[in-house]
Chains A and B, each alone.
Chain A
Amino acid sequence: MLLQQIVNGLTIGTMYSLCAVGYSMVFGILEFVNFAHGSIYTVGAFITLTLVSSGRIGFGVSFLLSMIATGLLGVAIDRFAYYPIRSKRAPKMNLLIGSIGMSIFLQNLAMLIWGSQTRNYPEVLRLGSTRLLGVTISHYQVVIFLLTAFLIVALQTFIKKTKTGKAMRATAQNVDATKLMGVNVNLIVQIVFFIGSALACVAGTLVGMYYQAADPWMGFMPGLKAFTAAVLGGIGVFEGAMVGGLIIGIVETLAAAYIHAGYRDGIAFAVLIIVLLVRPTGLWGKALSRKV
């Protein structure tokens, strides 16, 4: 049972990781927490759902289109909601409040467009499951792991090896100095929003398919958990977000199984508090306290 629970926990943990990376990237550059991230995840899941159930295009194409659409939505949110606040050099707190407003707006927009009912997610991939050492692993879980691993490695390579990635890292270190070097910082911010939102769309779609259900509130809790994961791992740090997501996923699953199902969320957040008490910068956080 313990092994099975760990597999269960890893599956939701990977979803949190995908979301947490988005949070972390935006924070790394803009130093603000984009609370609309959870709602972007919901909208992404619904866009995929709509494209797939339209029946005209295959799942792969739908998924890709949805990622692009959600990415562009992220860019639009930045352009029309955050950029005006940023360009006026308003305090970071205003951005934070703005993102909460954006989150509520997106949630209600999703409800208006797609209705408040829980929608059935079509079973696009019919996969079986394997029993191994008394543990049932569905092949879909394997797909989730592999896809997430691929995306993370690809993103990591992009950030470490390309010129744009270098510009992103530079922007994260010092916005003004990067500007002086002739980098279009706003474009970099938009790229970050695009990537973060597209990853949220992947997470939303995978979760929708995993539970075969989508509703306008589906992003709320995962949004909070992913934020927790990002902070736990050290916000702004790529590897930290990854590992933080997995830790939160496993901890809450074990808490639900061995302690009490009602405390699962509470325990996940308690872990965050304890880690922050011991290491205020998170597990992977740099000692640089400016960002925290």
Chain B
Amino acid sequence: MTKRLMITLVSTLVLLCLCGMCTIGAGEIRIAVCAPITGNYSQYGLSFKNGTQLMAKLVNEAGGINGARIKMEIYDDKNEQKEGVNIAQRLVSDRGVAAVIGHFASGVCLATAPVFQRAGLVLISPTSSHPDFTKQGTYMFRNNVKEDVEGPCSAEFMIKQLKKKNIAIIYVNNDWGVTARDYFMEGVKKFGGKIVASEMFIDGQTKDFSPILTKINAAKAEIIYLAAMYTDSGMIAQQLNRLGYKIDLFGNSSIYNDMLIQLAGKAVEGTYLVASYFDEDPTPVVRNFIANYKKEYGVVPDQYAALAYDTAGLVVEALKICGPDRAKLRDALAGIKDYPGVTGNTTFDENRDAQKGVIILQIQNGKFVFHSRV
């Protein structure tokens, strides 16, 4: 009985493997996109999906890569480590996958990195900003500006341009938030500012920020640096407003989303923030991208969609050079210089971290406006 069962199992497995191989069409290159499609972070996952699929559509309409069509396959990692690792294990054994774009959160990237590294499959994250991510191995890439650039730039702007001395921080208590706080604090120290309060909150649980805001006000802070997502930042701004404290806000690039203004309205008026992409940028690449995106999805792309679009573009660029070979693709990607993306000209440094400039925006009359370039 067990023997028969074994035979059935094995033959089913073999059949399944064969079927799997059949689906790899001759003229198709498959790229996996891992993003939180459901759950608390699904809005970011949607931007990943839209951005990468738009790039695939444009490439395919222009004739594909040397005649081969591109297919972006979306996998839902729910922004959870264990889901991410499950998907990673599935992807590395699927030889038809040329590269993986993904993971929204640094925490998930850090969990899956060893799996992809062992198998020699490129993982390129459009959003991970934790410095340790690309240190996990030579197949790990990042296509956004890290906190070690953003934090000090923000500190310099606050102290030198806005002339603020007493600075408070509110950060989300996760891997990313703590890193963002540390780099920002380093920057503040370097440019001669003073941290008067550093307060944390718990992601998805803290809705009431009044105790920490009251504490920050008592510490006589002139400006608050927010290392938080836009949903939380919107609540912080509203509660600050309701408490009647006059303290300026300065946000990490993570708060750059129109939803912030929809959620918090007048309360975020005057808030400064860092960004690597701005949707009113007059550069032709950006205008083109926004027009295409609007035509396809009916909304203006946010920075996550822009970063995902550029990430897909970088992978396409590398595929053009070498074709869908996992190892060669890594080398081609690492060698890319000055890729003209919508988030700036992108070059990978020796640690496979993207290098591009940052801009400072301000919210004025319910809109993000360009303030200056740092």
| Chain A residues within CB distance 8 Å of chain B | 1, 4-5, 8-9, 11-12, 111, 116-118, 120, 123, 129, 131, 136, 138, 140, 207, 211-213, 215, 217-218, 220-221, 253-254, 256-257, 261-262, 264-265
CB <8 Å contact, A117 and B244: no
Using A1-B218, A136-B243, A211-B239 as known contacts, say yes or no to A253 and B231 having CB atoms under 8 A apart.
no
* Contact code string B19-61 (vs A, CB < 8 Å = 1, else 0): 0000000000000000000111011000000000000000000
Complex interface: chain A residues within 8 A of B38 (CB): 111, 116
A sample of 9 cross-chain residue pairs with beta-carbon separation below 8 angstroms, ordered by A number, consists of A1-B214, A116-B42, A118-B231, A131-B244, A136-B243, A212-B238, A217-B204, A254-B211, A262-B202
Residues of A within 8 A of B212 (CB): 256-257, 261
Q: Is the CB of A217 within 8 A of B40?
A: yes
Among B39, B199, B208, B238, the residue within 8 A (CB) of A253 is: B208
B interface: dominant SS: helix
A131-B244, A217-B40 given; name 20 further pairs at CB < 8 Å.
A4-B243, A111-B38, A116-B43, A117-B42, A120-B262, A129-B244, A136-B244, A140-B242, A211-B207, A211-B235, A211-B238, A212-B264, A213-B234, A215-B40, A253-B208, A254-B211, A261-B200, A261-B206, A261-B212, A262-B173
Q: Does B86 contact A (CB under 8 A)?
A: no
- Residue from A11, A218, A253 having most chain B Cβ neighbours under 10 A: A253
Per-residue interface assignment for chain B, residues 171 to 187, with 1 indicating a CB less than 8 Å from any chain A CB and 0 otherwise? 00100000000000000
Contact indicator per residue, chain B 239-258, by CB within 8 Å of chain A (1) or not (0)? 10011100000000000000
Q: In the complex, what's the smallest C-beta–C-beta distance from A223 to chain B, in angstroms?
A: 12
A117 to B299, CA, bound (A): 16
B205 within 8 A of A: yes
Q: Are A261 and B211 in contact (CB under 8 A)?
A: yes
Q: Which residues of B contact A213 (CB under 8 A)?
A: 207, 231, 234-235, 238, 263
Interface status of B364 (Cβ within 8 A of chain A): no
Closest Cβ of chain A to B332, distance in Å, is 37
* Dominant secondary structure at the A interface: helix
Q: Are A1 and B207 in contact (CB under 8 A)?
A: no
CA distance A215 to B202 in the complex (A): 16
**Bound Cα distance from A4 to B207, whole angstroms:** 18
A257:B205 contact, CB within 8 angstroms: no
Bound: A38/B43 CA distance, A? 24
B12 within 8 A of A: no
